[in-house]
Chain A
Amino acid sequence: MKQKFDIIQSTCVPLPLENVDTDQIIPARFLKATTRDEKFFGDNLFRDWRFDKEGNPKPDFVLNDPTYGGEILVAGKNFGSGSSREHAAWAIAGYGFRVVISSFFADIHKNNELNNFVLPVVVSEEFLAELFASIKADPKMEVKVDVPNQTVTNLATGRSEHFDINGYKKYCLMNALDDIDFLLENKDKIEAYEQSR
């Protein structure tokens, strides 16, 4: 959903597993929808980790643990590997996450998050390890993500890091603009390119 980004401060949901692939974020059998209904995808986020075969919540999975909540998902390295399915980003957005913090993201999924106004924040391994420890010690601790200044801060320890985002994408996020808006404005350049070939 298009929404403007500024400063987000929230508690976190920890998922300290590495290589979380998009088949886990949203299994293939939920890809048969022909509309972009974020609520449907959000309801099935991490479906097979979150629910048993009968559809009952699995109590040991973090999304079913009332101790944790918030707009920030914190995950182990190489988050979103595998399939290009944007449904994974729709599921994350549909569930209500606005930021995903990890030490490493898979390329296609990272773009898909950005295109759906979910901000992937890449932090160092040390920052990530400390953040998991802080959340474990106090599930109510908060993280502050400051998009204008490109900083992420663990408010329990005060540790802060700069994160990368290109100027164009930052402008898009802060103003709720998407790439198609931009491309449509540049039609003359496309035609000029085609004629030059």
Chain B
Amino acid sequence: MNTLFDKIWDAHVVQNVEDGPTQLYIDRLYCHEVTSPQAFEGMRQRGLKCLRPDQIFCMPDHNTPTHDQDKPIEDPVSKTQVDTLAKNAADFGLTHFGMMDDKNGIIHVVGPERGLSLPGMTIVCGDSHTSTHGAVGAVAFGIGTSEVEMVMASQCILQQKPKSMRINVEGQLKWGVTAKDIALYLMSKLTTSGATGYFVEYAGSAVRNLSMEGRLTLCNLSIEMGARGGFIAPDEKTFAYLKGREYAPKGEEWDKAVEYWKTLKSGDDAVFDKELTFQAEDIEPMITYGTNPGMGMGINEAVPTLDSIDEAGQASFIKSLDYMGFQPGEKLLGKKVDYVFLGACTNGRIEDFRMFTYLVKGKKKADGVTAWLVPGSWMVSKQIHEEGLDRVLEAAGFEIRQPGCSACLAMNDDKIPAGKLSVSTSNRNFEGRQGPGARTILASPLTAAAAAITGVITDPRVFMKENQN
């Protein structure tokens, strides 16, 4: 009761269907090329137009190659899907940021950075990482393609109101611990289903102290605990981030908006269905050892032993370690790494590139490591160049690619080969996620950078100390 989630949800209720879901009004629908074609097809079959085309924004990101984007996509099936989005957007009168458009990038990076995602909004997309946009203080969640079609047709969606959860992270993060580590830590405590059925509000001093980029990373990973979405009440940091962005309100409209946004917080008397508190100082740089994001541990810890897993979960645990090629009870420090991936809607923002660059500055990429550094958008790419990060990275033996989802789910050419071990800043370590047979360790940009220069799993703090002296 009286939570920020209630306030935003209630402000968007069109009606509560008797003995059924809520008909919820949606402010913003984002469409990418993978989960929208069948929705457009459905609209055509029903003979419908989009009810509010100016509230829908489309851009390809999953299939886009990360090189030679000025040339046609080589894979004909990927090309068809990307071309289909452009045609659908044109046919239905929707805004489309195509490949090579300077506004293109991963949808969850572009939305906030262009000021399209704003506090108090309801935002949906046929993509589970839509929770990212919660970082600006919006109720944002992933939906299926049938639901995308619902929103196109009616600017509404039918949803059961989820339960509310507040997760407080209090205190000061240890040096070398990032927003990604907070998220991996929470998943390791809650498991991948611990927040299913809930919408999460992140709070506490450690969350407040995160930059906007850090908040976007944290909210991005809400789905990996099973939560439909996660968000952070907007504050001065949010307003400063959004001010002047292309689609954010301007002038008087801005002042009016900020006045309203300042009311967007949970009441002192707010009651959550569940409330959890964690201490920031307990969090170490985290890595995963298994095939779901909840299978994580501090980088210096050992993989759990079989007897610590409950009986119903043992078959999955053994299957998972078999796939990864790890033994129960072993430490992963020093394991040879083949690939490093920096990017994705999780860690493809400017701050992530700053962190990675800070760690590798003056060093050399290890022989035998293939590193893919993929900015989340053209805007991020431009900023990398303006700040001179690209020159530092090049000197250390790294090259910057062109923006897109890339090796996070390997729908383009960026596939990790079977059996190879990848340290990845993305969001999922599922079997085959980065390519059939690929093995993924999820980690922060700092931990990924440490692996890239040593060629093995390494605690990034070793280098941070060195750099500080």
* Interface 9-residue window, one of B33-41, B169-177, B447-455: B33-41
At the interface, yes or no: A86 with Cβ under 8 Å from chain B? yes
At the interface, yes or no: A19 with Cβ under 8 Å from chain B? yes
Give the complex CA separation of A189 and B14 in angstroms.
7
At the interface, yes or no: A158 with Cβ under 8 Å from chain B? no
Chain A, residues 82-114, CB within 8 Å of chain B (1/0): the string is 111110010000000000000010111001100
- On chain A, the residues within 8 Å of B197 by CB distance are 107
- Known A-B contacts A29-B411, A34-B38; the reply to A166 vs B21 at CB < 8 A is yes
At the interface, yes or no: B80 with Cβ under 8 Å from chain A? yes
* Interface 9-residue window, one of B102-110, B211-219, B353-361, B424-432: B424-432
Give the complex CA separation of A61 and B3 in angstroms.
47
- Known A-B contacts A19-B192, A31-B411, A76-B316; the reply to A189 vs B23 at CB < 8 A is yes
- On chain A, the residues within 8 Å of B319 by CB distance are 17
Chain B, residues 1-36, CB within 8 Å of chain A (1/0): the string is 000000000000011011111010100000000110
- Known A-B contacts A19-B292, A167-B19, A187-B154; the reply to A84 vs B410 at CB < 8 A is no
Q: A183-B154, A187-B51 are in contact. List 20 more A-B contacts (CB 8 A).
A: A18-B313, A18-B315, A18-B316, A19-B316, A21-B292, A29-B436, A32-B77, A36-B41, A77-B193, A81-B292, A84-B142, A104-B196, A107-B228, A108-B128, A168-B19, A179-B158, A180-B150, A189-B15, A193-B14, A194-B25
- Known A-B contacts A27-B432, A77-B312, A86-B145; the reply to A169 vs B154 at CB < 8 A is no
At the interface, yes or no: B351 with Cβ under 8 Å from chain A? no
> Is A168 within 8 A of B21, CB to CB?
yes
Contact of A34 among B41, B48, B126 (CB under 8 A): B41
A–B complex contacts, Cβ < 8 Å, 12 sampled? A32-B63, A32-B81, A34-B37, A36-B145, A53-B418, A83-B128, A84-B35, A84-B127, A86-B144, A104-B196, A115-B146, A180-B149
- On chain B, the residues within 8 Å of A32 by CB distance are 34, 63, 77-78, 80-81, 411
Nearest Cβ on chain A to B108's Cβ, whole angstroms: 12
Identify the closest chain A residue to B197 (Cβ).
A107
- What class of interface size applies to chain A in its complex with B? 35 or more
Give the complex CA separation of A112 and B145 in angstroms.
8
Contact of A78 among B78, B144, B155, B193 (CB under 8 A): B193
Contact of B20 among A24, A53, A168 (CB under 8 A): A168
Identify the closest chain A residue to B12 (Cβ).
A193
Nearest Cβ on chain A to B129's Cβ, whole angstroms: 9
* Interface of A toward B, CB cutoff 8 Å: 16-19, 21, 23-24, 27-29, 31-36, 48, 53, 76-78, 81-86, 89, 104, 106-108, 111-112, 115-116, 125, 129, 166-169, 178-180, 182-184, 186-187, 189-190, 193-194
Nearest Cβ on chain B to A136's Cβ, whole angstroms: 13
> Is A166 within 8 A of B154, CB to CB?
no
Nearest Cβ on chain B to A196's Cβ, whole angstroms: 10
Identify the closest chain B residue to A192 (Cβ).
B14
- On chain B, the residues within 8 Å of A182 by CB distance are 17, 158
Chain B residue total in the interface (Cβ 8 A): 69
> Is B25 within 8 A of A84, CB to CB?
no
Identify the closest chain B residue to A172 (Cβ).
B20
> Is A34 within 8 A of B312, CB to CB?
no
- Known A-B contacts A32-B78, A85-B35; the reply to A115 vs B226 at CB < 8 A is no
Nearest Cβ on chain A to B218's Cβ, whole angstroms: 18
Give the complex CA separation of A27 and B410 in angstroms.
10
> Is B192 within 8 A of A81, CB to CB?
yes
- Known A-B contacts A112-B144, A189-B23; the reply to A24 vs B155 at CB < 8 A is no
> Is B315 within 8 A of A78, CB to CB?
no
Give the complex CA separation of A122 and B328 in angstroms.
32
Identify the closest chain B residue to A88 (Cβ).
B144
Nearest Cβ on chain B to A150's Cβ, whole angstroms: 13
From residue 183 to 200 of chain B, which have CB atoms closer than 8 A to chain A?
191-193, 196-197
Nearest Cβ on chain A to B61's Cβ, whole angstroms: 13
The 7 closest A-B pairs by CB, nearest first: A168-B20, A167-B19, A115-B146, A86-B144, A112-B144, A34-B37, A183-B154
> Is B17 within 8 A of A106, CB to CB?
no
At the interface, yes or no: B167 with Cβ under 8 Å from chain A? no
From residue 402 to 454 of chain B, which have CB atoms closer than 8 A to chain A?
409-411, 418, 428, 430-433, 436
Give the complex CA separation of A107 and B126 in angstroms.
14
> Is B430 within 8 A of A21, CB to CB?
yes
> Is B41 within 8 A of A186, CB to CB?
no
Residue picked from A33, A53, A180, most chain B C-beta under 10 Å: A180
Give the complex CA separation of A84 and B14 in angstroms.
25
- On chain B, the residues within 8 Å of A86 by CB distance are 35, 38, 126, 144-146
- Known A-B contacts A23-B428, A28-B433, A186-B23; the reply to A84 vs B51 at CB < 8 A is no
Nearest Cβ on chain B to A24's Cβ, whole angstroms: 6
Contact of B142 among A108, A167, A189 (CB under 8 A): A108
